[in-house]
């Protein structure tokens, strides 16, 4: 019942927006959904290959949070009457744990920049979606700090795990 009401409310919001804006909003949410899903997959893969067990656990927690973000975005897309796309993805691997963390840090930075840019526009178009992305942004900032800490504490010369 809740999801039906939310979907109805989302559909009314979309109907009140000009066609281009509706398309733009759903496109933006689907892009974010794809990025969060890919990031979660990449972090899981990197965690499996992580040289340091304590970093493996932290990276797996971040991967779970990224997947949670994707689920939130999927619910929002559905509530607005859209459908999330299927994803095929080959994670980018680093030569060793340090390089993988560097790749993950770059991904977090990119995500933060994208979200900050999108929030400027979304506040005007759909405050509810802006609120969701702001929540995701806060967690992405925490992820960036955690990954930065792991990167600083890891050895860039360590060999690739077997």
The 3-class secondary structure across the chain, one letter per residue, is CHHHHHHHHHHHHHHHCCHHHHHHHHHHHHHHHHHHHHHHHHHHHHHHCCCCHHHHHHHHHHHHHHHHHHHHHHHHHHHCCCCCCCCCCCCCCCCCHHHHHHHHHHHHHHHHHHHHHHHHHHHHHCHHHHHHHHHHHHHHHHHHHHHHHHHHHCCCCCCCCC
Whether 161 is covered by a domain: the verdict is no
**What pLDDT is stored for residue 72 in this prediction?**
98
Q: CATH number for the domain including 59?
A: 1.20.1260.10
pLDDT of residue 18: 54
In a domain, 105, yes or no: yes
**pLDDT in the model for residue 19:** 57
Q: Report the percentage of the chain scoring pLDDT > 70.
A: 85
pLDDT of 158 reads 63
Residue 125 has pLDDT above 80, yes or no: yes
* pTM of the entire predicted model: 0.83
Q: Is 158 inside a domain boundary?
A: no
pLDDT interval class at 98 (50, 70, 90): very high
How many domains does the structure of the chain reveal?
Answer: 1
* pLDDT-based confidence at residue 12 (cuts at 50, 70, 90): very low
Q: Which domain holds residue 124?
A: 2-153
User: Does residue 162 fall inside a structural domain?
Assistant: no
pLDDT digit string (tens) for 21-30? Answer: 778 899 999 9
């Amino acid at each position: 019942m809740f999801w039906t009401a939310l979907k109805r409310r989302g559909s009314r919001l979309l109907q009140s927006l000009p066609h281009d804006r509706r398309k733009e909003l759903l496109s933006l949410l689907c892009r974010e959904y794809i990025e969060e899903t890919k990031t979660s997959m990449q972090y899981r893969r990197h965690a499996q290959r992580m040289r340091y067990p304590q970093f493996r656990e932290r990276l797996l927690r971040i991967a779970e949070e990224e997947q949670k973000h994707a689920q939130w975005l999927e619910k929002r897309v559905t509530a607005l009457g859209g459908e999330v796309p299927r994803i095929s993805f080959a994670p980018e691997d680093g030569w060793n744990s340090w390089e993988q963390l560097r790749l993950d840090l770059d991904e977090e930075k990119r995500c933060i920049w994208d979200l900050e840019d999108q929030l400027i526009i979304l506040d005007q178009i759909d405050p509810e979606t802006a609120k969701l992305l702001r929540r995701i942004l806060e967690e992405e900032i925490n992820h960036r700090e955690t990954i930065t800490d792991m990167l600083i504490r890891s050895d860039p010369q360590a060999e690739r795990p077997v």
